[in-house]
């Protein structure tokens, strides 16, 4: 009978684990193959799939301007995939905020108008609506649309900020408008 | 694209990656500020009819 031998991790030297650490595929240890190898194929069918690091963040889109009492502004942000992925649907979530004032460097949460109301804003001094917009959505572009009416009794400046979080599964680029 | 939209009533809207505008307003001019410096942007916002500066910025594109 052969006496069992063990490595420094107390793994039997003739075990499947030991074999996997020794066998190399294309210079990569077999146990690392699925981690370090880039695989290209037209179709993958799997009963379970674990993806990591597939979300990207856009830079902030920013708009600012002033409007008088009773006036209404329209607001929108679209995310459009560019060639060579222009025909593919993107999947993205917009994060939107509207502030009173035009401090673009660090908007003060006390002056937030939408979606929450900051402590320095009188409730219902603005009428705001906004949502993912079917009208601006054209099959591939993701879009947020909204409007804001000034009911404060005077002229106001506002800042509108949108940042998109998107699945970036194809390493493509997108443009914002 | 960074741009400034000026309406006939004098309203101005600066936008960089979003769209913002005056409901029912009539646009007077649209100025591309993609290649403008911060100082030039401020100057244009103060005087959107400075056509010489607008042309200078446009020439950089």
What is the complex's ipTM, to 2 decimals? 0.88
Average pLDDT over residues A108-119: 95
Are A66 and B1 inside 8 Å of each other by CB? no
Report CB contact under 8 Å: A177, B16: no
| Confidence tier at A12 by pLDDT (50, 70, 90) | low
Rounded Cα distance between A152 and A97, Å, is 18
SS3 B36: coil
pLDDT confidence band for A68 (50 / 70 / 90): very high
Mean pLDDT of A22-28: 71
pLDDT of A175 > 80? The answer is: yes
Of B11, B15, B18, the CB nearest to A66: B11
Nearest-neighbour CA in chain B from A74: distance (Å): 5
CB of A95 within 8 Å of any CB in chain B? no
> Is residue A63 pLDDT above 80, yes or no?
yes
Q: Which of A63, A67, A177 sits opposite B11 (nearest CB)?
A: A67
CB contact under 8 A, B23 and A147: yes
Q: How many CB pairs under 8 A join A and B?
A: 71
Per-residue pLDDT band for A36 (boundaries 50, 70, 90) equals low
Entry pTM: 0.78
Looking at per-residue pLDDT, the higher value among A28 and A66 belongs to A66
Give φ, ψ of A109 to 5 degrees.
Answer: -60, -20
Question: Do residue B13 and residue A62 have CB atoms under 8 angstroms apart?
Answer: no
For A76, name the nearest residue in chain B, comparing CA atoms only. B19
Compute the nearest-CA separation of A53 from chain B (Å): 24
Q: How many CA atoms lie within 13 A of B5 on its CB side?
A: 19
Low-confidence winner among A5-9, A19-23, B34-38 (lowest mean pLDDT):
A19-23
**Average pLDDT over every residue of B41-50:** 88
- Position A14 scores a pLDDT of 63
pLDDT value, residue A147:
97
Q: Which residue of B has its CA nearest to A59?
A: B17
* Kind of pairing between the strands at A174-176 and A156-167: unpaired
CB contact under 8 A, B12 and A66: yes
Question: Residue A65: which pLDDT band, with cuts at 50, 70 and 90?
Answer: very high
From chain B, pick out residues whose CB is under 8 angstroms from the CB of A97: none
Specify the pLDDT at position B31.
Answer: 93
pLDDT score, position A91: 87
What percentage of chain A exceeds 70 in pLDDT? Answer: 83
pLDDT number for residue A148: 98
CA distance B5 to chain A (A): 10
* A19 pLDDT above the threshold of 60: no
Q: How confident is the model at residue A30 (pLDDT cuts 50, 70, 90)?
A: low
Give the mean model confidence (pLDDT) for residues B44-52.
Answer: 89
Band (pLDDT 50/70/90 cuts) for residue A83 is confident
């Amino acid at each position: 009978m052969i006496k069992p031998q063990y490595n420094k991790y107390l793994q039997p030297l003739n075990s499947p684990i030991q074999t996997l650490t020794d066998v190399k595929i294309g210079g990569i240890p077999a146990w690392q193959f699925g981690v370090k190898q880039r695989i290209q194929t037209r179709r993958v069918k799997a009963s379970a799939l674990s993806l990591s690091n597939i979300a990207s963040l856009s830079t902030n889109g920013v708009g600012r301007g002033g409007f008088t009492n009773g006036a209404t502004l329209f607001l929108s942000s679209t995310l459009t995939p560019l060639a060579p992925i222009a025909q593919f649907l993107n999947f993205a979530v917009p994060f939107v905020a509207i502030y009173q004032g035009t401090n673009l460097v660090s908007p003060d949460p006390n002056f937030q108008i939408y979606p929450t109301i900051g402590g320095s804003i009188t409730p219902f001094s603005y009428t705001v609506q906004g949502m993912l917009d079917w009208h601006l959505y054209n099959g591939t572009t993701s879009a947020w649309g909204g409007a804001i009416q000034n009911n404060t009794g005077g002229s106001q400046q506002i800042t509108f900020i949108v940042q998109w979080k998107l699945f970036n599964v194809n390493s493509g680029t997108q443009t914002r408008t | 694209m960074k741009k400034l939209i000026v309406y006939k009533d004098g309203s101005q809207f600066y936008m960089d990656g979003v769209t913002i505008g005056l409901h029912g307003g009539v646009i007077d001019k649209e100025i591309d500020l993609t290649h403008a410096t911060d100082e030039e942007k401020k100057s244009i916002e103060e005087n959107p009819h400075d056509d010489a500066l607008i042309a200078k910025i446009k020439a950089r594109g």
